[in-house]
Amino acid sequence: MLSLANVWVEYGDKVVLERISLDIAEGSFVSIIGPSGAGKSSLLRVILGQDQPSRGSITLDGQALPQECGPDRGVVFQRYSVFPHLTVLGNTLLGLEFAQAPLAARLFGSARRAAIAQAEEMLAAVGLSDSMHLYPSEMSGGMQQRLAIAQALIKRPRILLLDEPFGALDPGIRTDMHALITRLWREFGLTIIMVTHDIKEAFGLGTRVLTLDKRRHDPHAPHRYGAGVIYDIALTRKMAAEAEIDASITIDTNGNN
């Protein structure tokens, strides 16, 4: 579905990523790991459209990606993903309002009621039904990330990009969030690309794990070589293992990978 062909990312003469060629299948959950500074987030930003590759091309369903972010690619960052001036409901409605009200960016009457119903359904899916009218500053970090996920998913993005989404959360909350994202991934048939520092998380959640690092290193000019994909591991046992762990969840037995 998403293809990167010989993508390079360079800032000035500093090469961050070099020769990245990837094909990401629909419905896969790709984890990206690697040491700090290996360009994990740069890769995510390029796929997101926030940065442009200096060489190479990225195509989504055979179409070249537009030069800026759009609703086909949703994103959840580690922080600042939700709007502090909107309630939980307002944050979730925003994507619908942008699409349906180009001028006012607000919905009224029956259109608003329909959007609220849709938002409530999405908030129920992430477990925020009881917090509809709270502001983000009144919520814990885990709740804010739940909201950020709901806010992104309501646009039904082709790809959901997660940039260390659970990095700032407590271990217990993080486990809850892992269960949540796995369930949403299955229910909505999502394609997810997640950057993480946590190797256990990468292998626990992903159907495919990419490891970014520098293949070559010039000690006199460390910035002249960029990182590439050094390991590309497909986790074929994923579905079977998952079935044992959380048997309560309905599993697509055909497998998404």
Partner 1 sequence: MRWVNRKIARGNALLLGALPLAVLALIYLIAAASRHAANPADKILPLPGAMASAMAALIFEADPLSGQYLFWADTLASLSRLGMGLGIATLSALLVGLVLGALPPVRTTFGPMVTAIAVIPPIALLPILFITFGLGETAKVALIVVGIAPFMIRDLAGHIAALPREQIVKSLTLGASSWQLLLRVALPQAMPRLIAGLRLSLGPAWVFLISAEAIAADVGLGYRIFLVRRYLAMDVILPYVAWIALLAVAIDFLLSRTSRTLFGWAHKAGH
Sheet holding 227-234, edge to edge: 63-64, 55-60, 2-11, 14-24, 227-234, 208-214, 29-33, 192-195, 159-163, 73-76
When asked if residue 71 is in the footprint of partner 1 (CB under 8 A), the reply is yes
Work out which of 5, 25, 69, 239 binds partner 1, going by CB under 8 A: 69
When asked if residue 155 is in the footprint of partner 1 (CB under 8 A), the reply is yes
Show the binding pattern over residues 37-66: x = contacts partner 1 (CB under 8 A), - = does not.
-----------x-x----------------
Nearest to 152 by CA among 218, 207, 206, 83: 83
* Structure token digits, residue 66: 């537009």
Question: What's the burial of 133, exposed, middle or buried (CB within 10 Å: 0-12/13-18/19+)?
Answer: exposed
Stretch that binds partner 1, among 92-100, 170-178, 190-198, 226-234 (CB under 8 A): 92-100
When asked if residue 172 is in the footprint of partner 1 (CB under 8 A), the reply is no
For partner 1 (CB under 8 A), the number of binding residues is 39
* Structure token digits, residue 241: 């293992």
Work out which of 1, 5, 99, 233 binds partner 1, going by CB under 8 A: 99
Is the separation of the CB atoms in 117 and 123 below 8 Å?
no
Interaction site with partner 1 (CB under 8 A)? 48, 50, 68-71, 73-75, 77, 79-86, 94-95, 97-99, 102-106, 135, 137-141, 148, 151-152, 155, 157
